[in-house]
Amino acid sequence: MTQARQAGVLMHITSLPEGNLGPDAYRFVDTLVEMGVSVWQTLPVNQPHDDQSPYQSVSAHAGHSGMISARQLLKDGLCLPNEVTMPLPSLMTKVMFRVQSGGGLTVNFDGLTWPGFARFCQTQQYWLEDFALFLCLREQHDHQSWHSWPQAYRMHDHQALQAYSVANQEKLTLIKFTQYVFFQQWAQLKVYANQRGIQLFGDIPIFVAYDSADVWAHPDWFKLDADLNMTVVAGVPPDYFSETGQRWGNPHYDWQAMQADGFSWWLGRIDIQSQLFDVLRIDHFRGLQAAWEIPAHEPTAMNGAWQEAPGHALLQAIRQAYPQLSLVAEDLGIITADVDALRHAFDLPGMKILQFAFGGGEDNPYLPENIEENSVAYTGTHDNDTTLGWYQAAPEHVRNHLHYYLKQEHPDMPNALIQLTFNSIARLAIVPIQDILALDSQSRMNMPGTTEGNWRWRMQWSQLTDEKKQSFRQLVEESGRLHV
């Protein structure tokens, strides 16, 4: 990241009114410029499972096809107005046919090309082939986990998959082409954002889902038994968010096998993210030093153990391969001296959440005066309540501490916490869009430890009034973070 003080906004692509990479995304970039902001942070943009959680994807590499914008394809001359509302597979079939035939619907077409698609398939072959097979087989088996597929497919039998590829060539090509369209649309948006001075800030989940192309294609890189069942699962012990901890259920890496292979899977993953983003948050960074392993049969995360990981070697490999990529460490939760030492060894900014600052003592690391300059400060994240919702539900001693700190009995929330966040010494300060809109708990993005009703919130443009934009810009400017 730059040495200058910066302001950012956290808003996932699916929270845009249309929830995709179309005109709304470009309008949001323009809005960020208008508000003097220089960073747009999103959640992970990988292809999710049916629950739409960005942190449980069917591939650590594939982009979220649901983010493809039909309106953008229309604008680029690749579909007709009456095709915009078509289901994605039908639309992609038509678009693919047009591209394969040599162009779009306009004379001056300058977009997706068949040679470009061929190059994409070649450069992304290391994950794209397996992903296409995985998705095709998964749809054929009613979205059931790969572990319940017929043995030849479940065990990734080369001969069986070769025969399957020949029989399903058209479907596999369409899946690959859909990925090509996603990455092209993202690249267009990134160019537009960067040209307007906006950096894109992404998020990489440290773990992958068991039911994913990655685990199916590379079971030897994960802690599985002879029948490919998980022996241990990931999570965190009891903490601020949950009394019984969080049992995420992701498989753990066989770090010894990954390191022996030169971390090739990780470097391929980072390669994709470095094309999508200028800055990248490593979710659950402490897992690169040691991760909480829970025996697979345990129903909660309470009975687990910390297992060390070769984080230093991995980060060294990433830094050498991608020196231009800025990394941020999500270092929330139970953080030890070893985790801090790993973060400092690579000079990575940590995260500071202002909602965690009040109700304790003067040594609370989230109080503004205790924040380091090499940090990213937030009012809250996607896992927190909105700041207004947090304030309304906060225990009395927390609110009293906040009032005392602000020297105000009736602070203007959430603007008061935004102002504290922006006035901190942290080089980058980020505010979720819900806080700019002053929304309550009804607009919360995620409730950790729950599986229902998350990831659904969407903004409406009518909520982001000129008054709110001007008010926010003023806070950005007064804190010395204005991007012009």
Domain boundaries, the chain: 365-484
Can you give the pLDDT at residue 105? 60
**444-468: buried (b, 16+ CB within 10 Å) or exposed (e) per residue?**
bbbeebeeeebbebebeeeebeeee
Q: Please give the DSSP secondary-structure letter assigned to residue 47.
A: P
H helical segments located in 364-431: 387-393, 396-406, 415-423
Measured distance CA(428)–CA(422) in Å, rounded: 8
383 is catalytic: yes
Annotated catalytic residue within 76, 278, 283, 331 = 283
Annotated catalytic residue within 24, 76, 278, 383 = 383
pLDDT, tens digit, for every residue of 134-192?
999 999 999 999 999 999 999 999 999 999 999 999 999 999 999 999 999 999 999 99
CB-CB contact of 339 with 313 (8 Å): no
Question: Which residue in the block uniquely carries the two structure tokens 């229902």?
Answer: 452
Q: Under DSSP, is residue 230 helix (H, G, I), strand (E, B) or coil?
A: strand
What is the pLDDT tens value at each position of the chain, 484 positions in all? 667 999 999 999 999 999 999 999 999 999 999 999 999 999 999 999 988 999 999 999 999 999 999 999 999 889 999 999 999 999 999 999 999 987 666 544 557 899 999 999 999 999 999 999 999 999 999 999 999 999 999 999 999 999 999 999 999 999 999 999 999 999 999 999 999 999 999 999 999 999 999 999 999 999 999 999 999 999 988 877 688 888 989 999 999 999 999 999 999 999 999 999 999 999 999 999 999 999 999 999 999 999 999 999 999 999 999 999 999 999 998 799 999 999 999 999 999 999 999 999 999 999 999 999 999 999 999 999 999 999 999 999 999 999 999 999 999 999 999 999 999 999 999 999 999 999 999 999 999 878 889 999 999 999 999 999 999 999 999 999 998 7
283 is catalytic: yes
State the DSSP H helix or E strand holding residue 63, giving kind and residue range, or none if neither. none
Question: Which residue in the block uniquely carries the two structure tokens 């927390």?
Answer: 398
Can you give the pLDDT at residue 150? 97
Can you give the pLDDT at residue 108? 47
CB-CB contact of 390 with 445 (8 Å): no
Annotated catalytic residue within 330, 331, 385, 435 = 330
330 is catalytic: yes
Q: Angle 264-276/125-140 helices, nearest 10 degrees? A: 90
Q: Please give the DSSP secondary-structure letter assigned to residue 173.
A: H
Beta bridge partners of 291: 307
Question: Interior CA angle at 271 toward 269 and 273, to 5°?
Answer: 75
pTM of the model: 0.95
